[in-house]
Amino acid sequence: ANFRWDSFSQEELLLVPTVIALGSADQVAGDGLRSLSRLLSSGRPVQILIRVQPHNNPGAAPDEGPFQAFRTELGYLGIAHRQAVVTQSSPARHQHLLNCFNASFDTARTSLHVINTGLRPPSKLVTLNAWLVAGAAIESRAHPFFRINPAAGDSAAVRMDFSENPQPEIDWPVHSFRYLDENELTVEEELGFTFADYALLLARLRDCFRYVPAECDSDALTSVDRYLAMSPEQTRNLVPFVWAVDRNHILHRLVVSVDVTNAARDRRNYWRALQEMAGIRNRYVERAIAETQTEERRLAAAANELLIAEHTAELNRVRTEAA
């Protein structure tokens, strides 16, 4: 009568056929949120697969737009359930996705998989491959990769796998951008790929961008990555933009709406939280390093002063004896 499912050994549980629960992000973040939380806390060996669209907010009400509130991050919600395996991945990087699945199948813990399968937006110009759109979500920090394995230990340093994220040490992946200017001279600059660049691929968000005529050049126009790197006081008179190419392969600047700009800032905030968990740009570590360096400089200065004092005393002694 006292025999329950958790009376099985780890080896016995791994022999039980895998139970898989499928759900959409909107459903789970809405009416199913309480049930999801209870299942993640239960410890039952269930694989939960949730499909997300990185440009949407799963926690938004049916009558709300995707940017009316800060985004509900289901992966982060899963991390709060400390004993559950949590992965965030995409078929756009199939090997990472398979590794996440295999690692979860090797444990008897509850596992949450947050998966972006990409979209194929309708287009009159070029039909975009769903994997290209999903890959752009990874690049833009809209859908960062991670894997949490509680069995590895109690420290985030051993629990978290942050691999396969492009250029994980900085806010946005930076790539060389080369184009011909109006004088047909080659111009090359470094640009960050942000959430705004990803949003431009999605048809439903096209109204968040406005074309800037070539004759309307202004120093106030600033790329989104540089705009977000500034303080609000510095950006008061600036306008964020992204580059785009039309059907004639002509380059244009598109002004980005406040909603998309704020969404990019929100995605960066989540990215930085994950970075810190992964031990990248950890403020506590940086503070400890700074304090250690300050102490080392203080000790070196004190030792130098002592040497100077001893040297001066020795010179005075020699002069006295010589006199």
Mean pLDDT highest for which of 66-70, 111-115, 282-286?
Answer: 111-115
- Tens of pLDDT, residue by residue over 185-236, are 888 889 999 999 999 999 889 999 999 998 888 889 999 999 999 999 999 9
> Which pLDDT band holds residue 16 (cuts at 50, 70, 90)?
confident
Q: What is the mean pLDDT of residues 291-306?
A: 82
- Asked if 249 contacts 125 with a C-beta cutoff of 8 angstroms, the reply is no
Assign 54 to helix, strand or coil: coil
| Residue carrying the six token digits 């690692």 | 103
- Domains belonging to the chain, first-starting first, are 5-161 (3.40.50.970), 174-275 (no CATH)
- Asked if 268 contacts 228 with a C-beta cutoff of 8 angstroms, the reply is yes
pLDDT of residue 103: 92
Q: What is the mean pLDDT of residues 181-186?
A: 77
Task: Please tell me the distance from the alpha carbon of residue 52 to that of residue 60, in angstroms, as a whole number.
Answer: 13
Q: What percent of the chain has pLDDT over 70?
A: 97
Tell me the CA distances in angstroms from 176 to 179, 188, 189, 190, 192, one per residue in order: 10, 7, 6, 5, 9
Q: Which of 115, 73, 119 is nearest to 96 (CA)?
A: 115
Q: Which residues lie below 8 Å from residue 64, measured CB to CB, with a gap of 6+?
A: 57
- Tens of pLDDT, residue by residue over 117-127, are 888 766 665 67
Q: How many helices (H) and strands (E) does the chain have?
A: 11, 12
Q: Is the pLDDT of residue 264 over 80?
A: yes
Tokens representing residue 17 in the block = 């056929």
pLDDT of residue 137: 96
pLDDT of residue 276: 93
- Asked if 132 contacts 126 with a C-beta cutoff of 8 angstroms, the reply is no
The larger pLDDT score, comparing residue 204 to residue 115, is at 115
Query: What mean pLDDT, rounded, does the chain reach?
Result: 89
pLDDT of residue 241: 96
pLDDT of residue 1: 58
Task: Please tell me the distance from the alpha carbon of residue 113 to that of residue 25, in angstroms, as a whole number.
Answer: 11
Listing DSSP states for 123-169 in one string gives: -SS-PPPHHHHHHHHHHTTSS--EEE-GGG-SSHHHHEE-TT-SSTT
